[in-house]
Structure formats: C-alpha cells, structure tokens
Amino acid sequence: MDLDMDTLCGDEFAPELTYLNTSKTGLLPRRAVAAIQALAEEKAAGRATGGDTGFEVVDAARASFGRLVGVSEGRVAVGSSVAVHTAVIAASLPPGAEVLIPEGEFSSLVNPFAVRDELRTRYVPLEKLAQSIRPDTALVAFSAVQSADGRSADLAAVREAAAAHGARTLVDTTQSAGWLPLNAGTFDYTVTAGYKFLLCPHGTAFLTVTEEAQRELRPIHAGWVAGEDPWVSTYGPIGELAHSARRFDEPMAFLAYHGAEQSLALLEKVGIEALHTHGTALADRFRAGLGRLGLPPVDSDSVVVAVPGLGHREPDLRAAGVDVSVRTGNLRVSFHLYNSAADVDRALDVLAG
C-alpha cells in the first residue's frame, strides 16, 4: 500500500482489531457514517421528510456503482437485497424453464428459483458450469466469486457457452464488486449486495440489466418510485414506468443510500485496479504463509482465502483480536483496502501458535 492509500485509510477507517472479514461485512468509512448521521439529525428536526430529499443521492449512488462495474446508470436498479433482485428475475421466467446453478451456491441466489416449483433447477460443480449448459437451459445463475471458499468462476467460458446455447446469464458479484475489475454489461443480469466489498450500509443492493433483458423482466414490485415521473405516479396504477432499469427499483432506504453514495465515491477515488492489486497481493502473501505452515488453502486467485477444515481455529484468532469467518468448515479470510501486510502477518502468527 502506498503512502496515499495509507493516509486515506487512516482518515476513513477506525478498526479496533485486525479486521479480515470483509466477505462477511465491509467496514463503513467515516464519510458514510457522517452522511447517515447528518440525515438522521435532519429527520429528527423535521428538515428531511421523504423522497424529495433523497432521490438525488440514490441516483448518485446508482451512477457511481455503474461506473465501478462498467455500465451506464440507465442499466442499474437499486434495492435492498440480492434475494429481492433475484426474485424479480425468477418471477419473469416461463414455467418449465431450466436454471443452471453451481452446487453450494449462496442461498440468496438459489432460493428464489428453488421455490418456484414450475421451474427446473439443475446443480453442477462450479468447474463444470460452462460445459453443463444445454440448449434447453434458460438461465445460468452463479457467483463470480464463491462465498464459501473464494473460488472464481470462469466468467468468459460461461458467457461464451451461454451465448452459444441462447441462455441468459445472472452473475452475483457480491464477493467481487469493489475489488475485481468487472464489465457487468457482458452479462444479462448482475446482482450485488452493497454491504461487503462496496463498503455500503446494509439495505443497499444493485441490479444491472442489459437493454434487451429489460424487455423480459416483469417489474413485480414496482411502486411509485418506479414511475418515469415518480411525483405523478403516487396514486392509482402507474401510467408510465421508468424507461430505464429504474422501473425495477425497490422503494429505497434513504439513510442507507446516503451512506452508500459516500462509500462508492471513496472506492471510485481509489480505483478498482488499485484495489485489485492491493487486495490480491495481501491474499497471495497469506496463501504463501499458509503454505509454509502446512495449511494449504483452496486454490483461487481472489482476495477471499479459505482453508479447508481449519474452522476450529477461529476462536483462537478471535481471542487474539483477529476477525475472520467460518463457512462450511473453512476458515475464511478476506482482504480489502484497509488491510495491510501487518494484518496478514498477525493472522499467520496466531495460526502458527
């Protein structure tokens, strides 16, 4: 990490422990906390009373997220969770459609399809995802980086195979947006929870949709905010839905999006390439150290590092002030802009006993 990023992180973050758990929840920068507090105070005083004080902030967050993942703001819908965005896609599929999903995929991406009995869900190993796409596959739904162990999907291979068979693609970028250079526009849909590597508050999530795929989605939860002019869409059926992906917006939590606007602006200031270089260097340092300890991690090149069967060491790390996660028996560690080589070495020292 160079001096500028050191200074930036010192100004923006205040962890009281060695925090290596962004895959669970990202740390809020001070600027986001300040924005949330300011709006809360305005609401308490009666100076901020509704959407008329928040839409511009939501649209700024929408545009910022779009720039981070390489799409225009017209392709971005905002909401509260991956599950809700995924449910819109699931509800828009015709009966009998096949959805191809990796085994062990995160439930928020799986369950909206699984609960529709008239859909056919098929599960295959992640490494066989591209070759398992068939002519009758309607949609391939998968995470760019797996939550449980940090493995990365072969995005190009899946995209090419899906195109060859006429299947749509849905990519969950929750564990990748914010550090991995992405072009969301090369997939029909992406869904992203904001509270991990995007450093946003809980209650923020983003859906990207290509123009072609927008014609297939049903805006099943469209409320007044999804109107082309929300202020003339407040009573009765909405006469004109938004012409962009905004017609798939959920009514938004303004407190959360006031924080999100600031967090996303910070990530744009640092830059995705710099975030990728910094995070993967720390992850590589950690993997190398694990190798020296005889603790081989799951093979991946992401900032999420998992060690099979080592979940029982999480209490030792926690007692030493190192925050990590346990997922499916794996000890899971993740790195972001506020981490340093000293954090890596601290975790390795604890694991070395």
Give the CATH number, domain containing residue 315: 3.90.1150.10
pLDDT score for 107 = 97
- Domain count of the chain? 2
Residue ending a domain, among 220, 237, 269, is 269
Distances (CA, A) of 17 to 14, 20, 324: 9, 9, 11
188 & 133 share domain: yes
99 & 233 share domain: yes
Using CA atoms, how far apart are residues 273 and 278, in angstroms rounded to an integer?
9
255 & 285 share domain: no
Using CA atoms, how far apart are residues 31 and 36, in angstroms rounded to an integer?
9
285 & 258 share domain: no
73 & 201 share domain: yes
283 & 257 share domain: no
pLDDT tens profile 137-177: 999 999 999 999 999 989 999 999 999 999 999 999 999 99
302 & 222 share domain: no
Q: Which of 40, 66, 22 is nearest to 264 (CA)?
A: 66
pLDDT tens profile 288-328: 999 999 999 999 999 999 999 999 999 999 999 999 999 99
| Cβ atoms < 10 Å from Cβ of 100 | 25
Per-chain mean pLDDT for the chain = 95
| Cβ atoms < 10 Å from Cβ of 2 | 9
Q: Which residue has the tokens 């002519």?
A: 135
280 & 233 share domain: no
pLDDT tens profile 3-22: 467 777 889 998 999 999 99
Using CA atoms, how far apart are residues 107 and 36, in angstroms rounded to an integer?
30
Q: Which of 204, 252, 247 is nearest to 92 (CA)?
A: 247
Using CA atoms, how far apart are residues 143 and 141, in angstroms rounded to an integer?
7
Using CA atoms, how far apart are residues 135 and 157, in angstroms rounded to an integer?
16
Residue 55 pLDDT more than 70? yes
Specify if 32 maps to a domain. no
Residues 298-323 as b/e (b if ≥16 CB within 10 A, e otherwise) read: bebebbbbbbeebbebbeebeeeebb
Q: Which of 255, 216, 198 is nearest to 34 (CA)?
A: 255
Please check whether residue 119 is in contact with residue 101, taking contact to mean a CB–CB distance below 8 angstroms: no
Specify if 293 maps to a domain. yes
Give the model's confidence band at 79: pLDDT under 50 very low, under 70 low, under 90 confident, else very high. very high
Specify if 36 maps to a domain. no
pLDDT tens profile 227-248: 999 888 999 999 999 999 999 9
pLDDT score for 54 = 81
- Domain residues for the domain of 243 are 42-269
Residue 171: what are its φ and ψ, rounded to 5°?
-115, 125
Residues in Cβ contact with 263 at an 8 Å cutoff, skipping those fewer than 6 apart: 28, 29, 31, 32, 194, 198, 199, 200, 201
